[in-house]
């Protein structure tokens, strides 16, 4: 058994300003970060202010495992670990040997030695991941009790996020392009939690400690060294992205609720006014924190394109045990102030093509589809946009009036409600398969938003009718993370 603390002299990346401080985080440890986030954010908000401290990795993956909102999934980018022509000087990985692009000839031979070792660990712990997660957090809170305040009081659904994000990053170790994009977004998103570079060594140490404890069959000095290299790179990418972001963006935005419209007993359209300009694109999402559940963040897609008055809207459905969603639907009212994290996701319109847009929105998944339609309208170039709006019942088509209004205003837009469960037996239409009754879709890009099952089945359906997967966009729910159950996201 290898114990993380026995390898304090493991490879480190040091810098004059980034060494471990005397605050108990990673002192004398490894994974030393290069960049230090400034104590005071660009907007003057002090990330050390206990009022404003945010949980470190606890929601590490607002990007990582909250299914649909994880990060927008665009098909695998061309860049990968095997890209032979990568510009080494622009390498955001800091030139780690772990992520060194391999020549195509060797890349073709399969995963790197480190990736093989990491995958073996992951395979061993997968059946007992619950235990490993608990042990990991026990280590974090025991060894670094000062980190406890950064996590929500109740860890329930938050519990495995940080750990899953770390494992996810490890799992995709060889896919440099996607991993860098994922980790950069993760690093930027962590600013709202008050995460500092000095926190990373502590988390890394506990990660290795938990893995060493539970992956005893496959653990070895080589495996440990592979994980250390991986984590060093992972944290460096996140730290660098956060430091860069800090130059021009606040860690979070305060936003006042200016309108709260109940559409059904459990769905509300919430409109907020951010305290300063909030740049985003239609199709993206933001994480929201309410005053009632500090440090609990959930992601919601914007239901509007950027507006001249700067207001933002979200469609929120109160789900069972959904702390944030229930608060937003049943408690929030004009005058309340919530917090917004930075925008995330890449389910955005590609304006470089004239392809039509085939949009599938299921339930509250219609929100970002409406935003995409608005952006196409504002862009001015007429492209066919075909929206299929899936709901279980007529009652659940809570936004059909708005969508139909948009359809009347734009000749290039068609909106088709698809109701899957009707009173009359056999009267419902299957969604998303309903698109098969129309088409052809080969000159369309597809945008999917809704429950994970709908997205999976939608992707299968669309690939089946000939839309190549690189032209199908949706927010990822499994790409870099353990799939959430419907209770882990709102």
Reported for 77-82, long-range contacts at CB under 8 A and 24+ positions apart, including other chains, are: 77/177, 77/178, 77/181, 78/177, 79/176, 79/177, 80/107, 80/174, 80/175, 80/176, 80/177, 80/178, 81/107, 81/112, 81/174, 81/175, 81/176, 81/177, 82/107, 82/108
From 138-146, 177-185, 448-456, 464-472, span contacting ligand NAI (CB under 6 A): 448-456
413-419 and 337-340: which strand pairing?
A: unpaired
Report in angstroms how near the CB of residue 331 gets to ligand NAI at its nearest.
19
List the one residue out of 302, 306, 324, 298 whose CA is nearest residue 314: 302
* Nearest distance in Å: CB 39, ligand NAI: 35
From the list 163-171, 213-221, 227-235, 451-459, the region that binds ligand NAI by CB under 6 A is: 451-459
Q: Which of 18, 475, 479, 488 binds ligand NAI (CB under 6 A)?
A: 475
Rounded distance between C-alpha atoms, residue 227 and residue 115, angstroms: 9
Taking Cα atoms as reference points, which of 311, 184, 313, 161 lies closest to residue 236? Answer: 184
Residue 324 DSSP label = H
The residue from 392, 404, 410, 416 that contacts ligand NAI (CB under 6 A) is: 392
Q: Tell whether residue 431 is a contact of ligand NAI (CB under 6 A).
A: yes
Task: Answer yes or no whether residue 368 interacts with ligand NAI by CB under 6 A.
Answer: yes
Which residue's CB is nearer to ligand NAI, number 26 or number 345? 345
Segment contacting ligand NAI by CB under 6 A, of 113-121, 122-130, 251-259, 391-399: 391-399
187 in Cβ contact with 238 (< 8 Å):
yes
* Closer residue to ligand NAI, CB minimum distance, 61 or 449: 449
Which residues from 287-326 bind ligand NAI, rule CB under 6 A? Answer: 301, 317
Q: What is the token pair recorded at 205?
A: 């140490």
Under rule CB under 6 A, residue 484 binds ligand NAI: no
Contact stretch for ligand NAI (CB under 6 A) within 149-157, 173-181, 256-264, 363-371: 363-371
Comparison of 151 and 300: residue with beta carbon closer to ligand NAI: 300
Q: Which stretch binds ligand NAI (CB under 6 A): 54-62, 86-94, 305-313, 453-461?
A: 453-461
Determine which residue in the list 175, 450, 471, 473 makes contact with ligand NAI, applying CB under 6 A. Answer: 450
Nearer to ligand NAI, 32 or 449 (CB): 449
CB of 363 to ligand NAI, least distance (A): 2
Q: Supply the minimum distance, in Å, between the C-beta of residue 186 and ligand NAI.
A: 18
What token pair was written down for 200?
């990373």
- Kindly state whether residue 344 participates in binding ligand NAI, applying the rule CB under 6 A: no
d(CA 328, CA 204): 35
Query: Residue 347 corresponds to which tokens in the numbers above?
Result: 């389910």
Phi, psi of 331, deg, nearest 5: -120, -35
> How many Å apart are CA 224 and CA 114, to the nearest integer?
10
For residue 449, state whether it binds ligand NAI (rule: CB under 6 A).
yes
Q: How many CB atoms lie within 10 A of CB 210?
A: 24
Rounded Cα–Cα distance for residues 432 and 150 (Å): 40
Least distance in angstroms from the C-beta of 15 to ligand NAI: 38
b (16+ CB within 10 A) / e for 48-59 = eeeebbbbbbbb
If the CB atoms of residues 223 and 420 are measured against ligand NAI, the closer one turns out to be 420
Number of residues that bind ligand NAI (CB under 6 A): 24
Cβ–Cβ under 8 Å, residues 210 and 132: yes
User: Is 224 a binder of ligand NAI (CB under 6 A)?
Assistant: no
Q: Which two tokens stand for residue 225?
A: 């060294």
- Within residues 113-152, the interface with ligand NAI by CB under 6 A covers none
- Residue 274 CA to residue 249 CA, distance in Å, equals 13
Helix (H) / strand (E) element for 257: namely strand 253-262
Report the residue from 28, 97, 279, 453 that binds ligand NAI according to the rule CB under 6 A: 453
Q: Binding marks (x or -) toward ligand NAI, 50..79, rule CB under 6 A?
A: ------------------x-----------
Verify binding: residue 33, ligand NAI, rule CB under 6 A.
no
Of 171-179, 229-237, 243-251, 443-451, which segment contacts ligand NAI by CB under 6 A?
Answer: 443-451
Q: Which of 231, 191, 218, 236 is nearest to 122 (CA)?
A: 218
Max CA distance (Å), the chain: 72
Least distance (Å) between residue 362 CB and ligand NAI: 3
Give the one residue of 215, 338, 454, 476 binding ligand NAI; rule: CB under 6 A. Answer: 454
Q: How far is the CB of 400 from ligand NAI (least distance, A)?
A: 13
Residue from 391, 403, 434, 462 in contact with ligand NAI (CB under 6 A)? 391
**Binding region for ligand NAI (CB under 6 A) out of 141-149, 204-212, 332-340, 365-373:** 365-373
Element (H, E) at 270: strand 267-274
Residues forming contacts to ligand NAI in the complex (CB under 6 A) are 68, 301, 317, 362-365, 367-368, 390-392, 396, 420, 431, 449-451, 453-454, 457, 475, 486, 489
């Amino acid at each position: 058994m290898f114990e993380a603390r026995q390898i304090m002299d493991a490879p480190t990346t040091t810098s004059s300003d980034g060494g471990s401080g005397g605050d108990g985080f990673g002192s004398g440890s490894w994974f030393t970060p290069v960049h230090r986030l400034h104590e005071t954010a660009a907007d003057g908000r002090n990330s050390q202010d206990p009022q404003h401290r945010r949980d470190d990795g606890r929601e590490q993956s607002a990007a990582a495992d909250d299914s649909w909102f994880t990060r927008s999934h665009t098909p695998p980018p061309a860049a990968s670990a095997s890209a032979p022509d990568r510009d080494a000087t622009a390498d955001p990985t800091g030139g780690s040997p772990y992520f060194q692009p391999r020549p195509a000839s060797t890349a073709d031979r399969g995963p790197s030695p480190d990736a093989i070792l990491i995958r073996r660990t992951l395979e061993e712990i997968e059946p007992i991941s619950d235990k490993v997660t608990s042990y990991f957090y026990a280590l974090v809170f025991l060894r670094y009790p000062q980190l406890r305040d950064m996590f929500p009081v109740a860890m329930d659904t938050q519990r495995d996020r940080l750990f899953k994000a770390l494992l996810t990053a490890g799992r995709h170790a060889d896919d440099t392009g996607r991993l860098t994009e994922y980790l950069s977004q993760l690093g930027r998103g962590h600013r709202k939690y008050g995460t500092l570079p000095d926190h990373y060594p502590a988390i890394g140490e506990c990660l290795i400690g938990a893995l060493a404890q539970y992956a005893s069959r496959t653990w070895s000095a080589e495996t440990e060294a592979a994980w250390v290299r991986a984590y060093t790179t992972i944290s460096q990418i996140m730290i660098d992205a956060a430091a860069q972001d800090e130059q021009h963006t606040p860690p979070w935005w305060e936003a006042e609720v200016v309108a709260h419209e109940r559409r059904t007993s459990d769905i509300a359209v919430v409109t907020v006014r951010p305290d300063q300009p909030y740049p985003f694109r239609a199709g993206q999402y933001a994480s929201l924190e309410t005053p009632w559940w500090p440090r609990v963040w959930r992601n919601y897609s914007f239901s509007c394109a950027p507006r001249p008055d700067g207001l933002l809207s979200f469609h929120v459905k109160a789900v069972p045990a959904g702390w944030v969603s229930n608060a937003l639907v049943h408690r929030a009212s004009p005058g309340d102030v919530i917090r917004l994290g930075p925008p995330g996701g890449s389910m955005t319109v590609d304006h470089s093509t004239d392809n039509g847009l085939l949009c599938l929105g299921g339930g509250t998944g219609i929100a970002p589809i409406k935003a995409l339609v608005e952006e196409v309208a504002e862009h001015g170039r007429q492209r066919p946009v075909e929206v299929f709006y899936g709901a279980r019942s007529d009652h659940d088509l809570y936004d059909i009036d708005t969508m139909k209004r948009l359809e009347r205003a734009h000749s290039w837009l068609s909106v088709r409600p698809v109701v899957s469960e009707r009173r009359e037996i056999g009267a419902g239409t299957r969604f998303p398969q309903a698109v098969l009754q129309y088409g052809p879709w080969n000159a369309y890009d597809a945008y999917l938003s809704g429950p994970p099952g709908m997205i999976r089945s939608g992707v299968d359906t669309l690939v089946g009718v000939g839309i190549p997967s690189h032209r199908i966009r949706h927010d990822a729910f499994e790409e870099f993370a353990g799939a959430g159950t419907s209770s882990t996201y709102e």
